[in-house]
Amino acid sequence: MPEGLIVKALSGYYYVKPADSVENGTIQCRGRGILRKNGVTPLVGDQVRYSLTENGEGMVDEVLPRITELIRPPIANARLAVLLFSLREPDLNLQLLDKFLVHIEHAGLRTLICLTKRDLLKQQEENDLTHDITKQTADLYKSIGYDVIVTSSKTGLGTEEVKSRLAGEISVFSGQSGVGKSSLLNAMLPELSLETAEISMKLGRGRHTTRHVELMELTNGGYVADTPGFSQLDFMEIEADELSSCFIEFQSYAENCKFRGCSHLHEPGCKVRQALEAGEIAASRYEHYLQFHEEMKEKKRRY
């Protein structure tokens, strides 16, 4: 039975790229009833076994085991998340960046942070403070352990470096709407001609231009999922006691806290708070940790 990769799911159809095909063609498939009976919903990114039908279409017979599974966006087997946050229009939002990082750590994906729209800072090159903010942000997240690339789709800055990181991977592109996801994808793959959106100056954010999850194939063996943008995320899938493990710089300190299951809020002998006081953990990150913890408690009270 042939195998393939689901590269798009739309209106009840799954578009499967055959594993033995070097071309970009796909087979339009339906899912077998047995999958639904067994509670299995095929996802974009799934490796599947399928069979051909008489009308030239196909049926997905089996979904092979998944490495990862994301709920939002619904995609399987992604191992790298590319988070795009703009330096201008909209302005850099570190609280939202940290919220995305929490969700990605919880999902078990690796992360590449792209600081986009570097070209919009050119007119302010003489403003050292602006440059310091960009450098400080990049240095902060690099010191935590994240890869950070500063990009500009207009000038091409960082485009090839990002593309090289995606080789052989299924990657998820995500971030706040209007930060240049489609523009960066267009810069890497000009043949895509993805729709881009102007920024609303009144709202300070872009319109969502991505309407469904679809894998786009790169020339280096990678696939990219251009996922719908989010202006906010909730914590419905994460428990409060899981939050600290999603702040990766907390982990080595948390192992030595006096109390097992330390929340790092008020317990005596908390090594995370000691590291904060010593300047070994960034104050902005800990402040966001407190905000997210409170947000999670509020959600529990409401539901």
Could you list the residues known to form a binding site, using ranges: 116-119, 175-183, 257, 262, 264, 270
Report DSSP letters for 73-109, one per residue. TTEES--EEEEEEESTTTTP-HHHHHHHHHHHHHHT-
Q: Summarize the annotated binding site for Zn(2+) as residue ranges.
A: 257, 262, 264, 270
Q: Which residues contact 40 (CB under 8 A, 6 or more apart)?
A: 63
Which amino acid appears at position 69 of this protein?
E
The rounded distance, in Å, linking the Cα atoms of 133 and 5 is 42
Binding positions for GTP are 116-119, 175-183
Closest CA to 243 of 258, 263, 224, 257: 263
* Run of H or E residues at 50: strand 47-52
3-state secondary structure of 3: strand
- Residue 187 CA, distance from chain mean position: 19
